[in-house]
Structure 1
Amino acid sequence: MTAKILFSSKKIDSVTKEQLQKMLDRYNLGELISFKQTEKGVMKQTIFVSSTSGDYVLKGNPIYEGQFVEEKFFIDHLKARTDIPVPVPYVLDEMKDIFGWPYAIMPRLPGVHFNDPKIEAAMTFNDRIRIARVLARALAEMHAWKSDIFGEFDPIHNTLRPFQGSYQNWLFNEIRFWLEDAKKYSGISQADKDWVEGLLESSRNSFEELQSAAFVMGDFKPENILLQPVEQDWNLCGIIDFTNSYFGDPIADLAKITVLYLDKGEEEFVRHLLSEYAKLTNANVALKERLIIHILYRKVLDWGCAYAINNVTWSKELSFKEWASEFIDNKLLGLIN
């Protein structure tokens, strides 16, 4: 389930003080002081819990069987293999006697989300460049975790499950699937499909050259990154939420944050992020050819989602090809040519 797009209504609707105290008692975590829903959790699965022994994050009501087993696998391995700050110990309780669903409890990491409006308003140009370099180093370190298997973790059998066929075929078919799905909500023409197929074909050799898979976080964005300003620099305090992690092309992790910050007009931030990552990983040629495809995947999802929920923020006169190629040709390629 990790590499699939999850549209889920599951969330933590409500918990009581009594339930939370029972959870704290089970792990000798002191007396409950306060609790509140987290602001950044898209799936609404997380609650901040403060007790006399410290601050914690409760993650509950899994959106699929084994979600927390899977996340614990990635967190524990990243802790053992890297210096990336992750929320450990990640304690998993699969019993349902307290809340009615399995849950995980982990320490709340320090730091701030660098897209917080107050933080962004106080940032200088140099702050943005330093943050880009911190993020590039973090990605390079996580991506050093390699695997012979292109696939996802199977929490039921506690093993890596290869994608059906090659990684390239899996990725290309995912893009085709969601483009076809977008036809339910918007006009997708044959010209749109032909343009997409042309991009896929032009990148085929680059994907065929991938010899081994790397860890891919799958959701690398400001809401899952915690930083702290220190003197004239920024420290990485934590990376959280590994529900969408898998093993594939590590360049995929650059797509979401690239789209987000180019859409905000932060070209220099993206330029430094990509160039620093390329230097650290020797991914110069592959970065251009494969990032285009991962960006294309992102744009297919964004297009379909916007039309599905009636939240289109661009002219509906634009075709998908016109809308997505404007981003790829004008915003992206100018930074990585």
Structure 2
Amino acid sequence: MKALLENENIPYQTFSRYALGGNVVYNVDDLYFLKLFAPFDSREFTIETEVLTQTDWTTVSIQVPEIVQRGMYDGWKYFLMTRVPGELLIDIWDELTATEKIGVAHDLGLLISQMHELDISKYRELENSFESWISLQKENVVKHHAGTGMAPHLIEEVQDYVESFLPSTEKVLLTGEYTPFNLLMNKVNGQWKLTGLIDFADCFIGEPKYDLLGPILFSFFKEPGLTGTFLNAYGLTLDDAKRLRLMQLLLLHRFSHLPNYMDGLMDMDEVKSLHKLSERFFTLE
């Protein structure tokens, strides 16, 4: 890291490794983050660079990093980006008041709706293969969920549950990353507010509802009123058809792990059906 900073002419006083995330990231002087991409991760470098540099962020209500320098050192691509101030939502969620959590649900629904209005015609490198990706997910969906420890009687339902799923023709920029690990919070007038978003390396083009899963499953469905507030702010009216669609997308999601989501609420063996589980996950109560 020292050699990279010096050979790439990046001024610094101190630097330290950032603990979280799938990539190697360093904090440089509390002003910048330097994100490294291994040679086999060059696709992620290309995607995140394009999203950060080609997006009109003036229409979005939060801060995102700005790339100030990029290059390659010893086979590793990197970019130096501005540090977005704030605390990760994962670190302070349990400290938030009920009112602050409602505010997060509302603001995140609004943010995702703004992101989904972005002009995707500017992107040249992002994957636009949602149809073929869904087809591949369908082929492997039973094997994937069997590996998570899902109850056998639910595994038996999985293939039939997703069989009727056809990809939507509606396409937007998806991050798939609206989780508490990528959302930044700051105090505004004494209240914690959603103010920043980081990590765009997994962006792709696809169906809007896919992006709604992370916030609901990681943060909202376990507490009353949050999912309803989130969906209302996004602009989605929940009904049986949309609940089915969300559940199908959840089963097809590349990181789906239903036992983890239900951990602490009930044993998966107690869940009678995938339909009943969808009512638990996607509720307005």
**Cα deviation, residue 109, structure 1:** 0.6
Aligned to 1:22: 7
- Normalised by the length of structure 1, the TM-score is 0.69
Aligned to 2:20: 40
Q: Is the 8 A contact 2:27 2:33 kept in 1?
A: yes
For residues 258-337 of structure 1, the aligned pairs below 5 Å read: 258-262=216-220, 265-278=222-235, 284=238, 287-298=242-253, 301-302=256-257, 318=269, 322=272, 325-329=275-279, 331-335=280-284
**Cα deviation, residue 189, structure 1:** 5.7
Aligned to 1:106: 81
Distance in 1 (CA, whole Å) between partners of 2:190 and 2:148 is: 48
Moved more, 223-232 or 251-260: 223-232
* Structure 1 residue ranges (4+ consecutive) displaced by more than 6 angstroms after TM superposition: 312-317
Identity in percent: 19
Shift of the 225–175 alpha-carbon distance from structure 1 to 2, 3 Å rule, reads: farther
Aligned to 1:10: none
Shift of the 212–198 alpha-carbon distance from structure 1 to 2, 3 Å rule, reads: closer
Aligned to 1:75: 52
**Cα deviation, residue 266, structure 1:** 2.0
Shift of the 315–178 alpha-carbon distance from structure 1 to 2, 3 Å rule, reads: same
Shift of the 294–197 alpha-carbon distance from structure 1 to 2, 3 Å rule, reads: same
**Cα deviation, residue 188, structure 1:** 8.0
**Cα deviation, residue 323, structure 1:** 7.5
Q: How many residues align?
A: 280
1:61 partnered with 2:37: yes
Aligned to 2:116: 143
- Normalised by the length of structure 2, the TM-score is 0.80
Distance in 1 (CA, whole Å) between partners of 2:145 and 2:205 is: 26
For residues 238-253 of structure 1, the aligned pairs below 5 Å read: 238-253=196-211
What are the superposed Cα offsets for residues 38-77 of structure 1, whole Å, 9 maximum, x if unpaired? 2332x14211111xxx611111133423321211101122
Bigger relative contact order, structure 1 or 2 (CA pairs below 8 A, ≥6 apart): 2
Aligned to 1:31: 12
Shift of the 148–172 alpha-carbon distance from structure 1 to 2, 3 Å rule, reads: farther
**Cα deviation, residue 237, structure 1:** 3.0
Aligned to 1:128: 101
Shift of the 183–31 alpha-carbon distance from structure 1 to 2, 3 Å rule, reads: closer
Aligned to 1:221: 179
Structure 1 unmatched runs, 5+: 1-14, 307-311
Letter in 2 for 1:65: S
RMSD: 3.5
Structure 2 unmatched runs, 5+: none
Shift of the 170–230 alpha-carbon distance from structure 1 to 2, 3 Å rule, reads: same
For residues 91-240 of structure 1, the aligned pairs below 5 Å read: 91-96=69-74, 100-116=75-91, 119-147=92-120, 158-163=124-129, 167-168=130-131, 170-183=133-146, 192-201=155-164, 203-204=165-166, 207=167, 210-231=168-189, 234-240=192-198
Q: Is the 8 A contact 1:130 1:233 kept in 2?
A: no
**Cα deviation, residue 227, structure 1:** 2.0
Q: Is the 8 A contact 2:33 2:82 kept in 1?
A: yes
Distance in 2 (CA, whole Å) between partners of 1:114 and 1:253 is: 17
